[in-house]
Structure 1
Amino acid sequence: MRDPYANIAKVDPSVQRKLGESLEIRAADLEMRGIVDAYLAKLNWPDGMEVLEVGCGTGAVTRLLAERPEVKKVTGIDPSRIFVEKARSLNTHPHVEFVVGDGRDLPFSGQAFDMVVFHTVLGHVPAPERFLEEAGRVLRKGGQLVIFDGDYMSRSVAIREHDPLQACVDIMKSSNSQNPWLVRQLPAMLTALSFANVQAEGYSYVGKDPSYMLDYVLRGADRLADAGIVSQEAAAALKAEARQRVRDGRFFGLFPYMSFRAIWG
């Protein structure tokens, strides 16, 4: 299956629900939460902010944004009605709103927000420039654009040469991202779109709690089988090996991420 997030609203509802569970697994991972907290801490937070998260999924990051005392209102938008319904069910913040909509054609007036956030979104979409142009349209002058995404080409779970589990990650690089090189292209892309003061930070996720990365490998094994690259029996063996490494304390994963902050206008 090619990247399901690229056209998520048309994906089978059962698959959408499973992907929603994966988003919440990642959000619950304490190491990932620490990385998210670290990149959010580097932003400017004036009082009374109105924030938009584009591609909010089940709302995990939207909920974190809502916890900031400086934030007056947070809006999360996603094309998946199933994701949005789940986000609404998990939300407990009165100043949060979730909307079904497309990041390429945001249903908001110009200069409506002080900050626009893309959290692991732009690597999944074709023509990310269109999403960034829309972000600029709805940002107020001096508003912050915030991007957090993975460097898919550097992801690894290998613990030895020719490690068979790496194939599970490699297929996710190509099938779970429209552009696995995106983070390496973003600085030039943002400058060309008239964003200023582009700042970048790198983060390494090494999976102290293996639950998120194990889920990633298990989904990769399914992708290998679905693509006919391995048999169902071989996919089951890959999953069994990954689970055994977790039990033995031998599981390793390195998922590099980058955050970007830029100013509009």
Structure 2
Amino acid sequence: MNELDELAHERLIERLESRAQVNTFSDLFEKYVNRIEIPEAGKILEVGCGTGVILRQLAQRHGFDARGVGIDHCKSFIDAATKYADQESVADSLEFRLGDAHNLDFEDGEFDVVICHTVISHVTEPAKILSEVARVTKKGGVIAIFDGDYSSLTYAFPDHSFGRKMDAALSNTTFNNPRIMCDLPRLLPQFDLELTDAWGDAVVEIGQGSYFKTFAETYAPYVKNSGQLSDQTVDIWLKEQNKAMENGTFFAACNYYTYLSKKV
């Protein structure tokens, strides 16, 4: 991430902030955070916090009196998170710092709640992340993991064969672990994490695009850079998506999953 140029970082920051404005994702966050009991004056860690959207939304909730800490390995994200928290008057409750999710710089059992929101699909070693998350969570504490099964990502395209290739290219160039959410029921017990609740939601946009529009615009250039498909074919695909949105025939979908577990 840090090797990307400044313009790429700006686009990703815009992407993270615009996604937060999509009602579907706000609703999915509310759906799981409402099932988490945050102790009075408790401590919350968000791993891979990006621009701090999740912690900022938490800090703005009525009666919030916890302390939130967000870590990310991308300095431009941390700078943006700090700036936005100050602008939204929640900086007193939140702290954002550079950090490696594979090697968390916190004490054992330091946090009551740990949130991994659309991050575990991106990391290099998911098992190492789970090990570290379990280590820094108090016994009886809650770990919330929300992410997509990006093997289910699909955009409509008249040529179905090419459409599937483009779906796969988007998934494989954007995510290190596009299928990791399928593995969590097997992985969690290995780190003394007891699954307490889990569910899935389909995120679908038909006719018009919002979330999937910015996803396509942000990550189609990654497909070009990867060399998996030619620049020309990617441009044709992107043009077709924009055309579909203009005339109301757009379709895109992906499955997302939430896992709530307890440190035992």
Instruction: Answer whether contact 1:123 1:179 (CA < 8 A) is retained.
Output: yes
Aligned counterpart in structure 1 of residue 125 of structure 2, from 115, 124, 127: 127
Residue in 2 that maps onto 1:80: 74
Structure 1 residue aligned with 2:108: 110
Asked if structure 1 preserves the Cα contact closer than 8 Å seen for 2:170 and 2:223, the reply is no
Change (3 A) 1:219 1:197: closer
Q: What's the offset of the Cα at 1:146?
A: 0.7
Mapping of 1:150-165 within 5 angstroms? 150-158=148-156, 162=160, 164-165=162-163
Among 180, 199, 202, the alignment partner of 1:201 is: 199
Distance 1:21 1:39 in 2: 24
Pairwise CA RMSD of aligned residues? 2.0
Give the superposition deviation at 1:191.
0.7
* Cα distance, 1:211 vs structure 2: 2.0
Query: Which residue in 2 is equivalent to 1:234?
Result: 233
Alpha carbons of structure 1 residues 231 and 34: separation in structure 2 relative to 1, 3 Å: same
Q: Which has the higher contact order (CA 8 A, sep 6+)?
A: 1
Higher strand share: 2
Give the length in aligned residue pairs.
258
Q: 8 Å contact 2:38–2:66 — kept in the other structure?
A: no
The runs of 5 or more residues in structure 1 that have no matched partner are 1-7
Give the match for residue 99 of structure 1.
97
Asked if the contact 1:165/1:217 (under 8 Å) is kept, the reply is no
Q: 1:70 to 1:89 in 2, by over 3 A?
A: closer
**SS in structure 2 opposite 1:153?**
strand
What's 1:258 paired with?
Answer: 257
2:227 and 2:120 mapped to 1: Cα distance? 28
CA distance in 2, matches of 1:163, 1:220: 20
Deviates more, 1:128-137 or 1:164-173: 164-173
Shift of 1:18: 1.7
Q: TM-score, normalised by structure 1?
A: 0.89
1:192 aligns with 2:190: yes
Check if 1:245 corresponds to 2:205. no
Q: How far 1:88 sits from its partner (Å)?
A: 0.8
Q: Which moved more, 1:199-208 or 1:75-84?
A: 199-208
Deviation of 1:223 after TM superposition, in Å, equals 3.1
Equivalent residues of 1:169, 1:217 under 8 A apart: no
Paired residue secondary structure (1:146): strand
The one-character-per-residue Cα deviations of 1:24-60 (angstroms, maximum 9, x if unpaired) are 1211111211111112222223322210000000111
Q: Is the aligned partner of 1:138 residue 2:136? A: yes
1:167 Cα offset (Å): 3.9
Q: Does 1:9 align with 2:2?
A: yes
Deviations 1:198-224 (CA, angstroms, capped at 9, x unpaired)? 421111111366122012223443233
Measured against aligned partners, the alpha-carbon deviations of 1:98-142 in whole angstroms (never above 9, x if no partner) come to: 011111222222221100000011111122111111112211111
Percent identity, aligned pairs only?
29
TM-score (norm 2): 0.90
- 1:180 is aligned to 178
Q: State which drifts further: 183-192 or 200-209.
A: 200-209
The answer to whether the 8 A contact 2:11-2:218 is kept is no
**Does the alignment pair 1:33 with 2:26?**
yes
Residue pairs, 1:212-227, within 5 angstroms: 212-227=211-226
Amino acid across the alignment from 1:111? G
The amino acid of 1:123's aligned partner reads: S
Does residue 20 (structure 1) correspond to residue 10 (structure 2)? The answer is no
User: Cα–Cα, structure 1 residues 195 and 240, in superposed 2: closer, same or farther, change >3 Å?
Assistant: same
Residue 64 of structure 1 corresponds to: 57
Question: SS of the counterpart of 1:207?
Answer: strand
Amino acid of the residue matched to residue 249 of structure 2? Answer: R
CA contact (8 A) 1:49 1:71 kept: yes
